[in-house]
A and B are shown apart, each in its own frame.
Chain A
Amino acid sequence: MTLIHTMIAGLGLASAASLAATAQAQDFETGGKLLLTRGISTIEGSGGGGLSSWALITGNETERGIGGTAHATQVELEDFRFQSAGFAIGIHDRFELSWTRQRFDTQDAGAALGLGQGFTFEQDVIGAKIRLFGDAVYDQDSWVPQVALGVQHKSNNQGAIVRAVGAADDSGYDVYLAATKLLLEHSLLLNATLRWTEANQTGLLGYGGLNDHSLQGEFSAGYMLSRRFIIGAEYRFKPDNLGFAGEDDWVDLFAAYAVNQHLTVTAAWVDLGSIATFDDQRGFYLSLQAGF
């Protein structure tokens, strides 16, 4: 059992214990968060922005209850189609557990790469997150952000292919430390995340290769136009571990709209740079998140 499995299991056990204590108190509250403050679901299934994991805990629950979200995301790029779908639970606004399946359809590019038309990589991401301290929303009299520690274990279903292109492994893990702060006086939401990762294109092209784990930064900023509507941008630094193809940082410009406390729709323009030798992978991102 690796360290990462131990961490996920530990967070899972802590979540279960927390749930059991709640159940004993017969106090299963749901709901209570303010609109949008549960965040949306990243392409890796964690509560956050769209590309970057944040310190917010998913679900509408407060510290007294449980909540959950399900998401479906599609990104139409120049040469590829990316999809993710999954669900997550939030416990006491403290713990978050998530499962997500990603599909990366190479479409015509698959034939050009010799993989075959429409060759598709799939990857499962299991995530766990714990909020360590701070409250992004209420601590407006302090600069201290909400800080969370998260882990994501990812496994790719195309082991032979990702090894053939130079990856060291078909599964891997990310550990991240995220800090989220709402600067309410300025209607601004800021996030900074440090990710310890060896994932190539988040793992869709395997793990490691020329390099092992490295620290990568992720930065997001959003401006709230109303209780329901926030626009912003994200920048995600990425490693570059594969010899056969360069990997670029990711950028997006997003707009998220909370239709009500249960449904959030997010649209974005993304620039994912070069993927598997295909340059300028820009396109449109659409994500639906339902939650309680």
Chain B
Amino acid sequence: MSFNSILIAGLTSIAFTVSAHAAQPPHAMPGELEVDPYEVSNANAGAEPITDPAVLAAFNGEAGIARIVDGLIAGIQADERIEGVFRASDWPRLRRTLIEQFCYILGGPCDYTGRSMASVHVDHGVTTAEFNALVENLQDAMDAEGVPFAMQNRFLARLAPMHGDVVTR
């Protein structure tokens, strides 16, 4: 066996591993309902990441973000103003992509693999009142995590312009 063939075998096995991984693309992850394939890009997160590490620290890093998303989801499910909007949601997928999106925008070591805000919300008929109700639930979840108000606003400032893509009615 020449060095070349070993190298080729090695590369092949690496490629195989990578493609095995790619057999679970972000549009069809295990435990989630499959959605139509889409181009994966951090641009889909809808905002540029915050570069100041103090903000991520104020959110208690990735662990804090996960708790905030769990709190947000619990808030949504208990909020009669918006519970109906989310009733058909694939909660495992929503949780995973929200954590990715928040982590990416807060400058964490994450990539966002979900769809763009416009494509996710195009058929949902979300109103400004419902958008604001979600903001309030997110504020409650950030309060519960102990994120200072000024730091919350630095994050919300990145989310606010999504109003244009999310609100369609």
User: Chain A 184-217 against B: per-residue CB contact (8 Å), 1 yes, 0 no?
Assistant: 1111000000000000000000000000000000
B163 to chain A: which residues have CB within 8 Å? 135, 138
- Picked from B132, B149, B160, the residue with its CB within 8 Å of the CB of A187 is B149
A34 to B169 alpha-carbon distance, docked (Å): 18
Q: CA separation between A181 and B77, bound complex, in Å?
A: 33
Structural contact, A140 and B161, CB atoms closer than 8 A: yes
Q: What per-residue 1/0 map shows which CB atoms of A128-139 lie under 8 Å from chain B?
A: 000000010111
**A residues less than 8 Å from B128 (CB atoms):** 32, 62-64
B137-169: which have CB < 8 Å to A?
A: 139, 149-150, 153-154, 156-158, 160-161, 163-164, 169
Report chain B residues within 8 Å CB of A139.
Answer: 160-161
Chain B residues with Cβ below 8 Å from A5 are none
A219 to chain B, nearest CB (A): 22
Shortest beta-carbon distance from B161 to chain A in Å: 4
Bound-state Cα–Cα, A227 to B132, Å? 12
Judge if A224 is at the interface, Cβ distance under 8 Å: yes
**A235-258 with Cβ < 8 A to chain B:** none
Q: Of the candidates B127, B133, B161, B169, which one forms a contact with A141 in the assembled complex, judged by CB atoms under 8 Å apart?
A: B161
How far is B136's CA from A63's CA once the two chains are assembled, in angstroms? 19
Write the chain A residue with the least CB distance to B133.
Answer: A32
Interchain CA distance A135-B158 in the complex, whole Å: 15
Asked whether A280 is an interface residue with its Cβ less than 8 Å from the other chain, the reply is no
B129 contacts chain A at the CB level, 8 A cutoff = yes
Interface pair B129/A62, CB less than 8 Å apart:
yes
Q: Count A interface residues, CB 8 Å.
A: 24
A185 touches B129 (CB 8 A): no
Bound-state Cα–Cα, A142 to B158, Å:
11
Q: Is B58 an interface residue (CB 8 A)?
A: no
A149 to B127, CA, bound (A): 26
A164 within 8 A of B: no
State whether the Cβ of A3 lies closer than 8 Å to any Cβ in chain B. no
Write the nearest CB–CB distance from B93 to chain A, whole angstroms. 26
Taking each of B153, B154, B163, which has the highest tally of chain A beta carbons within 10 Å of its own beta carbon? B153
Say how far B131's CB is from chain A's closest CB, in angstroms: 9
Closest-by-CB residue of A relative to B139 is A227
Q: Which residues of B contact A63 (CB under 8 A)?
A: 128
B149 contact from A31, A33, A225, Cβ within 8 A: A225
A13 to B150, CA, bound (A): 42
- Closest B residue to A227 by beta carbon equals B139
Given contacts A29-B129, A32-B132, A63-B128, contact A226 B149 (CB under 8 A): yes
- Complexed CA–CA distance, A187 and B148 (Å): 12
B135 at the interface (CB under 8 A from A): yes
Residues of A within 8 Å of B158, CB to CB, are 140
Residue of A whose beta carbon sits closest to that of B129: A32
Contact of A34 among B136, B161, B164 (CB under 8 A): B136
| Most-contacted residue by chain B among A64, A185, A224 (CB, 10 A) | A185
| Distance in Å: Cβ of B139 to nearest Cβ of chain A | 6
Which of B127, B132, B133, B153 is A184 in contact with, Cβ under 8 Å? B153
- What B residues does A140 contact at CB under 8 A? 157-158, 160-161
User: Is there an interface contact between B164 and A64, defined as CB atoms closer than 8 Å?
Assistant: no
A34 engages B127 (CB within 8 Å) = no
Kindly state the separation between the CA atoms of A137 and B149 in the bound complex, as whole angstroms.
16
Q: Is the CB of A33 within 8 A of B153?
A: no
The answer to whether A64 and B129 touch across the interface, beta carbons within 8 angstroms, is yes
Q: Which residue of B lies closest to A35 (CB)?
A: B136
Interface string of A217-233 (1 = CB under 8 A from B): 00000001111000000
Measuring CB to CB, which residues of chain A are less than 8 angstroms from any residue of chain B? 29, 31-34, 62-65, 135, 137-142, 184-187, 224-227
Q: List 22 A-B contacts (CB under 8 A).
A: A29-B129, A31-B129, A32-B128, A32-B129, A32-B133, A62-B127, A62-B128, A63-B128, A64-B129, A64-B169, A135-B163, A137-B160, A138-B161, A138-B164, A140-B160, A184-B156, A184-B160, A185-B153, A187-B149, A187-B153, A226-B149, A227-B149
New contact pairs (15) apart from A185-B153, A185-B154, A187-B150, CB-CB < 8 Å? A32-B127, A62-B127, A62-B129, A64-B169, A135-B163, A138-B161, A139-B161, A140-B161, A141-B160, A142-B161, A184-B157, A184-B160, A224-B149, A225-B149, A227-B139
Which 4 pairs between the two chains have the least Cβ-Cβ distance?
A: A32-B129, A62-B128, A184-B157, A138-B163
